A and B are shown apart, each in its own frame.
Chain A
Amino acid sequence: MRRTPAELLASWLRRQLPSPAVAWLEQTIANLREANSDRPLYLALGSVARRLGKEPLQLQAIDVSEAEAARHGWRPQHWSTDAAARVLLLLSDEVAPERFAARLDIVCKAAEMRELIAYYQGLPLYPDPARLVSLAADGIRTNMAAVFSAIAHDNPYPAEFFAELQWNQMVLKALFIGVPLHPIKGLDARANGQLARMLIDYARERTAAHRPVSPELWRCVGRFLDETTLDDVVPRLASDNIWEQRAAALALRDCPLPEAAILLERTPALVAELKAGTLSWDTFEPPLP
């Protein structure tokens, strides 16, 4: 039988944590179900790291596929035990979505960094997740990269629920704070002309300041290149950075303009890689600058 995300979290924690920690967690959840105020929840969420420690969550391949079955797109591979426990505590009493959202707002506003990571990683698992868009968009405004990544990376929530402006700001901000784009789910499906314009403007600013541009930027641009922006890409075919050359080739391949294909022919080595399938956005993970 398919298990719920909360059941999976509980089973993974029971397997990994020492028995006193498991006993505390189970007793706390039982108490929360009986509680008539939010105070015990606040204290429990705060004390998770004191009680349970903070280790990477150890998952097997079967756990990952059960997670996918329980909630499409859920990828707990990079979760920690404290994050799993905090999300489990939030899910432990079945309150109305409206009250859940109000409570989540309170705990996020008072959160330290590891808590924020947990609360944002849990976004796809919460009741009526569409209600939480502005909370998630607020999270994207953080300047703590690890918190930003809890929403942006390996999380199906943004692609499913963010409006275009929120999505575009998230992608641009990822470049801005120096985190990679490839762990963003739905990156290709949600590419759009407005984002491409923002990214090209950003690339021009960086170039004018003699600062490097992440080659991943061109992944969201290729389909939208036109006569006015083709020249932002073409010189990069001759870059001394191999990742930039590859990104330019991929972007030109994605570009619908006939001249893009002609320009691409000037670099037979990259064309050969494209034809062989060894050059693809799916495996494009350049080192961070």
Chain B
Amino acid sequence: MYIDPHIHMSARTTADYEAMAAAGIVAVIEPAFWLGQPRTSAATYIDYLSSLVGWERFRASQFGIRHYCTMGLNAKEANNEALAEGVMDVLPLYLAKEGVVAVGEIGFDDQTPLEERYFRAQLDLARELDLPVQIHTPHRDKKRGTSVSLRLCEEHGLSPSRVIVDHNNEETCEEVLSRGFWAAFTIYPKTKMGNERMVEIVRRYGSERIIVDSSADWGVSDPLAVPKTAQLMLKRGIPAPDVMRVTYGNALAAFGQSGQFSEADWLSRPEIDQRMLFEGNSVLRGQAPKTGNAPVANDELVIE
């Protein structure tokens, strides 16, 4: 069993969902983020937030995967002040909802004053609503941006044990871990972590407060990064309990602090039965619902 606590399923296909379920992913967390290009108004952002708790959650469930999300204004789009104000106004509509496991992904991109203003405002919202926080650390000037992010969380009275800092690398993780935060690592080809490096991180730092995710999205990325990394770790001699912690248990413990992310959600569910759970067949478009846990081969030529 695996959890991918950072993946943008809205950008992925049903074939991905099938492959993820077959690989043992039982739950995913989809952070609210941008769409590869900036939105031009708060209205489209609102539709996106609605889809995270609505259609995407439903779509995931049709493949036996539990879908959760984090809600927030991302750093890139915080630089559009009119849009940012509109999004901040509607966040209270979403943050208290079932299955919203943190305020996220928030943080810095260019590290501008506007980014900092909305980062701080959302840290206050998280404290007010007693939600964990998921931090996106910047791609550029990463080390400094990470340090400042940690300092802001502390300044706003958030316990490091309720903050998940994502997109770490060899240069940032020591500070994140030593200050008591959760350190998540994104296995994303070319730009973020490779999974061989990830094996070495776990060998060096152990499995405490370390989390592996894929951040798979609309770019060249891999929705099976978590199960693949788990297998590579086992093959390279990382003990199984540590592998389980970084690919399942730690994400559960960290985001479970929301009270909205519980193992019972997937352990107590019956075998996948799209008909029983949701009656309809809108994702399946009239195909026979799959029942049972056997992955289905997609190699038949006949389409009925």
Contact = CB atoms under 8 A, between A and B. Distances in A.
B94 A110 contact: yes
A110 B90 contact: yes
A50 B100 CA distance: 10
Contact of A112 (B97, B129, B286): B97
A49 B258 CA distance: 13
A111 B94 CA distance: 8
Interface stretch (A1-9, A140-148, A232-240): A140-148
B280 A110 contact: no
Contact of A107 (B46, B57, B93): B93
Contacts of A202: none
Interface stretch (A15-23, A38-46, A257-265): A38-46
Contacts of A148: 280
A145 to B, nearest CB: 3
Interface of A: 39, 42-44, 46-47, 49-50, 106-107, 109-116, 143-146, 148-149, 177-179, 211
B131 to A, nearest CB: 11
Nearest to A114: B98
A47 B97 CA distance: 5
A261 to B, nearest CB: 36
Contacts of A149: 279
Contacts of A42: 92-93, 96
Contact of A110 (B50, B281, B282): B50
B282 A144 contact: yes
Given A112-B57, A146-B280, 10 more contacts: A42-B93, A46-B92, A50-B98, A109-B47, A115-B97, A144-B54, A144-B278, A144-B280, A145-B280, A145-B282
B279 A46 contact: no
Contact of A146 (B100, B279, B286): B279
The 5 closest A-B pairs by CB, nearest first: A145-B280, A143-B282, A46-B96, A47-B96, A112-B53
B280 A143 contact: yes
